[in-house]
Amino acid sequence: MNFEIHTSSPEPIYRQIVGQIKLAVALGRLAPDDPLPSVRELAQRLVVNPNTVFRAYLELEREGVVYTKRGVGTFVAEWRDMLSLEEKRRILGEALDRVLTEAVHLGITERELVELMRERACSFNLRSAPPVKEKK
State the average pLDDT over residues 38-64. Answer: 95
CATH fold of 13-76, please? Arc Repressor Mutant, subunit A (1.10.10)
- In this prediction, residue 63 carries a pLDDT of 87
- pLDDT at position 121 is 85
Q: How far apart, in Å, are the Cα atoms of 45 and each of 12, 48, 53, 88, 104?
A: 17, 8, 11, 33, 37
Report the pLDDT value the prediction gives residue 90, as an integer from 0 to 100. 85
Give the mean model confidence (pLDDT) for residues 55-79.
93
Is pLDDT at 136 greater than 60 in this prediction?
no
| 135 confidence band (pLDDT: 50, 70, 90) | low
pLDDT band at 47 (very low <50, low <70, confident <90, very high): very high
Q: Which band of pLDDT confidence, cut at 50, 70 and 90, is reported for residue 27?
A: confident
